[in-house]
Amino acid sequence: MVLTAANVGSLMQHNETPVLVDCWAPWCGPCRNFAPIFEQAASEFEPHLRLAKLNTEEHQSVATRWQIRSIPTLILFKGGREVARVSGALSLKQLKQWLAQNGQPVGK
């Protein structure tokens, strides 16, 4: 799912399913390297965890509101509230470990 300034509020407020957001930009090399890992995670983790991407260049108001200081940044939301964040590209294994450490186990 692609997040925009227009749909971010409704997704966060009306979603019982936890949401993992990848904050990225087209010019960011590590973001481009992480993109296929995030896509693989989406195919493995959904529907138990919703995955979404936010282009911080196109939606700077959201990036500012969320205080994104570096990219890529992953933010885990539960019940519309941020519960965890990590900056930097992760491997799929590291992503699973980080999610488990933050109360969102996603399997093997």
Distance CA 99, CA 108 (A): 12
Q: pLDDT tens, 54-108? A: 999 999 999 999 999 999 999 999 988 899 999 999 999 999 999 999 988 776 5
Q: Which residues are catalytic?
A: 28, 31
Measured at the alpha carbon of residue 4, what is the angle toward residues 38 and 97, in degrees to the nearest 5? 25
Sign of the dihedral through C-alpha 33, 34, 38, 40: positive
**Backbone angles phi and psi of 64, in degrees to 5:** -70, -45
Nearest Cα residue to 41 out of 82, 97, 87: 97
The structure's pTM equals: 0.90
Q: What residue ranges define each of the domains in the chain, with the CATH number in brackets? A: 7-101 (3.40.30.10)
Residue 24, strand partner residues = 55
Cis peptide before 72 (omega within 30 of 0): yes
